[in-house]
Amino acid sequence: MKPSKDAKNIHVVICSGTTCFLMGASELFGIEKTIEGSLASRITVEGSPCMNLCKGGSYGKAPFVRVNDTLISTATLPKVIEEIRRQASL
Ligand code: FES
pLDDT score of 59: 72
pLDDT score of 24: 95
Question: Which ranges of the chain have pLDDT less than 50?
Answer: 1-4
Which positions ≥6 away from 88 have C-beta within 8 Å? 7, 8, 10, 39, 42
pLDDT score of 56: 78
| Atom number, ligand 1, closest to the C-alpha of residue 55 | 4
With the most atoms of ligand 1 within 8 angstroms of its CB, the residue from 26, 53, 65 to mutate is: 53
In short, whether 51's Cβ falls inside 6 Å of ligand 1 is yes
pLDDT score of 3: 47
In short, whether 15's Cβ falls inside 6 Å of ligand 1 is yes
User: Strand, coil or helix: what is 65?
Assistant: strand
CATH topology of domain 10-88: Glutaredoxin (3.40.30)
